[in-house]
Amino acid sequence: MANMSLKKVKMDEQDPNLRNKNFLEVALGYTLEEAIEEANRCIECKHSPCKNGCPVNIQIPEFIHAIKNGDIEEAYSIVTDDNGLPAICGRVCPQENQCEGRCVRAIKGESVGIGRLERFVADWHMANAKDKKVEIKKKTEKVAIVGSGPASLSCAADLAKYGYDVTMFEALHELGGVLMYGIPEFRLPKDLVQKEINQVLNLGVKVEKNVIIGKSLDIEDLFEDGFKAVFIGSGAGLPRFMNVPGEDLNGVYSSNEFLTRVNLMKAYDFPNNHTPVRLGDIVAVIGGGNVAMDAARTAKRLGAKEVHVIYRRSMEELPARQEEIHHAIEEEIQFDLLRNPVEVLGEDTIVKGIRVIKMELGEPDESGRRRPVPIKGSEYIMDVDNVIIAIGQTPNPLLINTTKELKTNNRGCIMVNEETMETTMKNVYAGGDAVTGAATVILAMGAGKQAAKSIHNKLVFDSRK
Ligand SMILES: Cc1cc2nc3c(=O)[nH]c(=O)nc-3n(C[C@H](O)[C@H](O)[C@H](O)COP(=O)(O)OP(=O)(O)OC[C@H]3O[C@@H](n4cnc5c(N)ncnc54)[C@H](O)[C@@H]3O)c2cc1C
């Protein structure tokens, strides 16, 4: 029976005062009954605008229809026809700007909770079903994939399903890219990421960890080794800095280093794990995106008494997802808005504070947002023990600098033909953050899938020559 409630079925969450002291997942997911109740909010409208909002074209009304019938395995099978990482995407996709942003129920009330339902079917499958062995007719051609983030995982999975002999080369000792080293455990549990990665590996994808393409091996070496095509999904892992005095003091972290120490090296479990993070009582996080929210909420969980997000525009312009801002406020993160650090202050090489200037909003800039303008004479000093800089990331230049045939734009992103994802180097394709700059998981996955299709078409064409 249709559920005409204007609001999504509530999803339970850990209490803010408990969860800001632990790394367990914040949102607890739907029960079967709750999922069916939420699925019944979908009116299966004629034009299904939600589908057009999904970068990987999941058949959304169809999978929701299967949930209504209580056939969760069928729902899972429909979702995974287009998206091999549904437990991940159900948790971290910005659905409000994509599928849910186009849902007709959102015209009057809240959209259908498509992300929550996607998460539900993925979690249900992991808890209740056995993966079926997929029979794939093997081809002889080898394809190399650089990196193992969402762009690479989806490219590798699709190529393996076409039958290619696929090897992923990953610089780190763990697969998953930002899914493993960036997004914190309390938003995206790592055992779950590993399970979805395992499903890609079960398709026969091979892995070489601790190999940096551009350093340990060049792209040319891969072709000499017999690989017929290469996909680059090397992400955007180079942190931006503020370029203010004192940024090199002890106690200043890039968000990248901070989150990697905590997530990948499990600093929250020190001394059981050997990578500590030194944090004092007062932490300033600079920036206003999802990465800043993740760093701030992580610092709070590690025991910081006060965590301040310092952002140069106002609350309205904060680029982080509304849900993440809401969670951060509930967890007592403080927002110091219309502020910008101009100096990090220290004593004996250790951070002691920051000098901050107040800002006001002027005319819109090229991004369409009102430009923050410093207010003369408004500087003041804030005592802080740590500074975490989360003002953006760009593609790591290593691979690009050592591979001269790859052309990049003025932001250091690899240039591709947008239809085929082929780079300026023959038989080399790229996608994800390495091409777009820091973006989203689902866009990276969409690009990986698009590249897989082009690589397949190209190799089929070459084999007929
Ligand atoms: C803290 C944080 C929070 C985020 N939160 C969200 C969110 O909530 N929702 C969302 O949609 N997006 C979020 N994002 C963005 C999202 O994670 C990225 O857009 C996405 O991971 C990009 O995927 P990718 O495959 O292009 O690159 P990555 O995930 O960065 O993976 C690239 C991989 O390539 C490897 N690599 C790099 N260079 C080489 C080389 N030369 N040789 C071999 N391997 C190499 C890296 O080690 C890495 O494993 C977040 C990002 C961060 C940092």
Question: Mean pLDDT of residues grouped by 10 in the chain (465 residues)?
Answer: 90 94 94 97 94 95 97 96 96 94 94 98 93 84 98 98 98 96 95 96 96 95 97 96 96 96 85 82 97 97 96 93 94 97 96 97 86 96 98 92 92 95 97 96 97 96 83
Q: How many CA atoms are closer than 13 Å to the CA of 459, on its beta-carbon side?
A: 22
Is the CB–ligand 1 distance for residue 213 below 6 Å?
yes
Q: What is the structure's pLDDT at 268?
A: 80
Q: What is the structure's pLDDT at 370?
A: 87
Residue with tokens 């992103």: 413
Q: What is the structure's pLDDT at 130?
A: 81
Tell me whether residue 201 is exposed, middle or buried, using C-beta atoms within 10 angstroms of its C-beta: 0 to 12, 13 to 18, 19 or more: middle
* CA separation for the pair 39, 47 (Å, rounded): 17
Is the CB–ligand 1 distance for residue 294 below 6 Å?
yes
**Ligand 1 pocket test: which of 173, 183, 219 has the largest number of ligand atoms within 8 Å of its C-beta?**
183
* CA separation for the pair 61, 49 (Å, rounded): 10
For 30, 88, 329, 369, 453, the CA distances from 179, given in Å and listed in that order, are 22, 8, 24, 29, 24
284 beta partners:
308, 387
Cα-to-chain-centroid distance, residue 321: 12
Six-digit token string for 55 = 């970068």
Spell out the domain ranges in the chain.
16-128, 142-237+395-463, 241-391
428 beta partners:
230
Q: What is the structure's pLDDT at 272?
A: 79
Q: Which residues of 135-153 are buried (b: 16+ CB within 10 A; e: fewer)?
A: eeeebebbbbbbbbbbbbb
Q: What is the structure's pLDDT at 132?
A: 76
Give the N- to C-terminal CA distance of the chain in Å, as an integer. 57
CB-based contact 283:388 (threshold 8 Å): yes
Is the CB–ligand 1 distance for residue 290 below 6 Å?
yes
Quick one: fold of 16-128? Fumarate Reductase Iron-sulfur Protein; Chain B, domain 2 (1.10.1060)
Nearest CA to ligand 1 atom 53: 182
Residues 6+ apart with CB under 8 A from 72: 32, 35, 66, 120, 121, 124, 125, 128
* CA separation for the pair 429, 229 (Å, rounded): 8
* DSSP helix, strand, coil percent of the chain (3-state; round to 5): 35, 20, 45
Ligand 1 center to 423 CA (angstroms) = 19
Is the CB–ligand 1 distance for residue 149 below 6 Å?
yes
Is the CB–ligand 1 distance for residue 171 below 6 Å?
yes
- DSSP-derived letter for residue 332 is T
Cα-to-chain-centroid distance, residue 37: 29
* CA separation for the pair 273, 250 (Å, rounded): 22
Q: What is the structure's pLDDT at 243?
A: 96
**Domains 142-237+395-463 and 241-391 equal at CATH topology level:** yes
- Provide the CATH number for the domain formed by 142-237+395-463 in this structure: 3.50.50.60
**Angle (CA) 264 183 349, round 5°:** 65
Is the CB–ligand 1 distance for residue 234 below 6 Å?
yes
- Provide the CATH number for the domain formed by 241-391 in this structure: 3.50.50.60
**Ligand 1 pocket test: which of 294, 441, 442 has the largest number of ligand atoms within 8 Å of its C-beta?**
441
